Amino acid sequence: MTVLMQAKGIRRHYPVGGGLFAAKGLVKAVDGVDFTLLEGETLAIVGESGCGKSTLARVATLIEPPTDGELLIDGKVVANDAARRNLRLSVQMVFQNPFGSLNPRKTVGRILQEPLEINHRGTAAEREQAARAMMDKVGLRQDQFGRYPHMFSGGQRQRIAIARALMLNPRIVVADEPVSALDVSIQAQVLNLMMDLQEELKLAYLFISHDLSVVRHIAREVMVMYCGRPVEHGPKDSIFATPRHPYTRMLLAATPSIDPTRRKQAVTIKGELPSPLNPPPGCAFASRCPYAAARCTAERPEPRAFAGHLVACHELERIEA
Amino acid sequence: MALLEIRNLVVEFGTARGRFRAVDGVDVTVDEGEILCVVGESGSGKSVSMLAAMGLIGWPGRVTADVMRFGGIDLQGLSARDRRKVVGKDMAMVFQEPMTSLNPCYPVGWQIGEALRAHHAVPKPKIRDRVVELLDQVGIPDPGRRMNAFPHQMSGGMNQRVMIAMAISCNPRLLIADEPTTALDVTIQKQILDLLIGLQAEHRMGLVLITHDMGVVAETAHRVQVMYAGQMVEQQSTDALFSAPRHPYTAALLDALPERAHGRSRLPTIPGVVPGIDDRPAGCLFNPRCSAATDLCRTTAPEVRDGIRCHFPLGQGHGA
């Protein structure tokens, strides 16, 4: 298996405030993330709002440079702007909301040809041909070539967005919540399309989602993030079968199951995400964790190997016992 | 006697292209102490039918119903003034997006107090105490201080708790919650649902939960109504609905959930999309997407029988 993307200690910090009334601060949106993405595989990044998963997507698509850390695409380091420009072509993105990510004043044909025009690929005739071929691939009809985005339903629009992302033959697609704005019956169509395209084109997906049932269906590996840091990383099946980190357990327990005979009334969940502006010292999850000990509020746990997962928790042995 | 009883509810909106039926012949009954879930995809009319029950549909919408009774009172015969005495007091609503439903210009405590003042629920000097008590009840820490906070100073989950505090301030007999957890993260969603169910059990309220999330339905409801394109297509107890759905739409919807697909295979899908304003088909509204549709389905609209709007309900042999 070819390694397509590798992240080593990625950090992305934003300075905030420093205005008339606000004190200067530093939001550590992503604070030390490592992962490897293989050809034809799906890595899912899971977490609640504010955990840094979308910022990670922006770094992975080279929209923003990381504050610290190294990103390798196809074995090449993304070091400067020139390298960035070249490598950017092989990473494309599908956005969450297909109602906002398509230009309402352009027809589907124009939207699909735009990436080729910007990069001076082929003649006008070749570009049109490429766009039409891509429409077939994602299940859009040829007579829809001249239509505008508002004439399509949400699911169809997400097909257009996926087609646009694939126009430059990328090897990596970063999908930021691609189905969360869609109804269930439409969601299944888009997930099937994404899986078919992955098989056909050997695409690697960085799949960002908060919906665990979708992740369970599409991913091979799962990384759970909390407050900008990965708390657990491992193969999908074992993450869902035997979650190790207390946050992963809580996330799985909170997800409603569609089996009414298995109502999980017993689990109680307290607290909310801490502000990323001044995260607690120690473990960010300590304030909500039922197993928190003195060490957890003082010292930040680093990810360590535990039963085939990478888990960032001091108290694992005690929890498992 | 049912707490809320609505028969043959129709909500129409006048549009440039003629009248559009957003809700078409829906019956709703809710008993005291019951949790009813209304589930459907976007545009199925689930929110509009409940807004109509609350009397919150304005021009160009038009609401008609054969029966619309709440606790023995005929809601249609009430004057606007009398209706306002009921709405917000005995029947209350929690809206979907707490951030846009709260007034950004007033502290949350004042906004909760507004309901108490409007309905003279407690004597004026006691209002502050009652607000603190309500905030405490919905699980907001340090309520005495938090009541002076503005909505933008609180998180989405906390604001949703404020909305719930506002809705239960006058001890309603019926609480309608319109997608109360859709904008929230799963761990917060779990907290809010537990809170709603706890309050419902404690006060023997009727609770109508509008949602598109089958997981939420399975975790909370006693009874479920499935809506499709403005019509109720199936009504069953929760256990029966999930173990043996009888309308083809419900069955297809459940099959399309990734949770039900075992292993890494293709998900079963429902072809096509929910019909919009222009393309409502003749006959059964679901027939173009239904795998079991016959000529009868394409020409004649089915009536609701035994809680199912289908010519050929599943589970009793096709064509029986």
Interchain CB distance below 8 Å, B190 and A254: yes
Whether residue A180 lies within 8 A of chain B, CB to CB, comes out as: no
Q: Pick the closest to residue B40 from B285, B317, B239 (CA basis).
A: B285
Test B190 with A185 for CB contact under 8 angstroms.
no
- The string of pLDDT tens digits covering residues A214-254 is 999 999 999 999 999 999 999 999 999 999 999 999 999 88
Residue B241 in tokens: 């609905």
CA distance B178 to B208: 8
Give residue B211's pLDDT.
92
Q: Are B185 and B179 in contact (CB under 8 A)?
A: no
Tens digit of each residue's pLDDT (9 = 90 or more) over B160-210: 999 999 999 999 999 999 999 887 888 888 888 999 999 999 999 999 999
Report the pLDDT value the prediction gives residue B320, as an integer from 0 to 100.
Answer: 36
Check residue B319 and give its pLDDT.
40
CB contact under 8 A, A250 and B187: yes
Calculate the dihedral angle through the C-alpha atoms of B123, B127, B129, B133, rounding to the nearest 10 degrees.
110
- pLDDT-derived band at A267 (thresholds 50, 70, 90) equals low
What residue ranges of chain B have pLDDT lower than 50? 317-320
- Closest residue in chain A to residue B239, using alpha carbons only: A260
Least confident of A271-280, A300-309, B98-107: A271-280
Closest by CA to B25, choosing from B61, B60, B57, B65, is B65
Those residues of chain B whose CB sits closer than 8 Å to some CB in chain A are 41-42, 155, 157-158, 185-191, 193-194, 212-219, 221, 238-239, 242, 252-254, 256-261, 264, 266-270, 273-274
- CB distance B269–A188 less than 8 Å? yes
B196 touches B207 (CB < 8 A): yes
Q: What's the distance, Cα to Cα, between the start and end of chain A in Å?
A: 37
Nearest chain A alpha carbon to B252: A185
pTM: 0.86
Comparing CB atoms, the residue among A183, A261, A263 nearest residue B42 is A183
Q: Which of residues 10-69 of A touch B (CB under 8 A)?
A: 48-49
Q: How many CB pairs under 8 A join A and B?
A: 116
Q: Which of B185, B252, B257 has the CB atom closest to A213's CB atom?
A: B257
- In chain A, the percentage of residues whose pLDDT exceeds 90 is 56
Residue A36, CB-side half-sphere exposure with 13 Å CA sphere: 8
Number of CB atoms found within 10 A of residue B279's CB: 10
The per-residue pLDDT for B14 is: 87
How far does A185 lie from chain B, in Å, by closest CA? 6
Averaged pLDDT for residues A199-211: 93
**pLDDT of A268 above 80:** no
**What is the three-class DSSP state of A15?**
strand
pLDDT at A275 over 80: no
The more confident residue out of A160 and B262 is A160
Give me the torsion for CA of B308, B314, B318, B320, rounded to 10°. Answer: -50
The mean pLDDT of A126-137, rounded to a whole number, is 94
- Contact A192/B186, CB-based, under 8 Å? no
Instruction: Say yes or no for a CB contact (<8 Å) between B186 and A185.
Output: no
pLDDT one-digit tens code per residue, A42-79:
999 998 888 888 899 999 998 889 999 999 998 888 87
Q: Inter-chain contact B257–A258, Cβ cutoff 8 Å? A: yes
Q: So what's the pLDDT on residue A5?
A: 94
- What is the structure's pLDDT at A84? 85
Q: Is the pLDDT of residue A265 over 60?
A: no
**At residue A195, does pLDDT exceed 80?**
yes
What's the CA gap between A184 and A181, in Å, rounded? 10
Average pLDDT over residues A275-283: 80
How sure is the predictor about A147, in pLDDT bands with cuts at 50, 70 and 90? very high
B108 in Cβ contact with B150 (< 8 Å):
yes
Beta bridge partners of A270: none
pLDDT per residue over A76-119, tens digit each?
A: 888 788 888 888 889 999 988 888 899 999 999 999 999 999 99
The whole-number pLDDT of residue B318 equals 43
Of B185, B187, B253, the CB nearest to A184: B253
Give the DSSP letter string of A17-46. Answer: --SSSSPPEEEEEEEEEEEEEETT-EEEEE
Q: Are B198 and B114 in contact (CB under 8 A)?
A: no
Mean pLDDT estimate for chain B? 90
Q: How far is B275 from chain A (nearest CA, A)?
A: 10
Q: Which of B185, B215, B242 sits opposite A256 (nearest CB)?
A: B215
Dmax over Cα atoms in chain B, in whole Å?
A: 68
